[in-house]
Amino acid sequence: MNDRIFGGLTFFLGLFYIYSAFIIEESFIQDPVGPKTFPYIISFFLLTSSLFLIFKPEQTPYWPSFGKILEVLATAVVLIGYAIILPVVGFVITTFFASTFISWRLGANLISASLVSLTISVTIFVLFRYVLGLSLAVGPLGF
Digits of tens for pLDDT over the chain (143 positions)?
788 899 999 999 999 999 999 998 877 777 777 788 889 999 999 999 999 999 988 888 788 899 999 999 999 999 999 999 999 999 999 999 999 999 999 999 999 999 999 999 999 999 999 999 888 888 887 76
* Residue 3 amino acid letter: D
What is the enclosing helix (H) or strand (E) of 92? helix 91-105
* Cα dihedral 50/42/86/84 (nearest 10): -50
pLDDT for the residue numbered 38: 87
CB 21 within 8 A of CB 43: yes
- Taking only Cα atoms into account, the Rg of the chain, rounded to an integer number of angstroms, comes to 21
CB 78 within 8 A of CB 102: yes
What is the rounded distance in angstroms from the CA atom of residue 89 to the CA atom of residue 81?
11
pTM over 0.85, yes/no: no
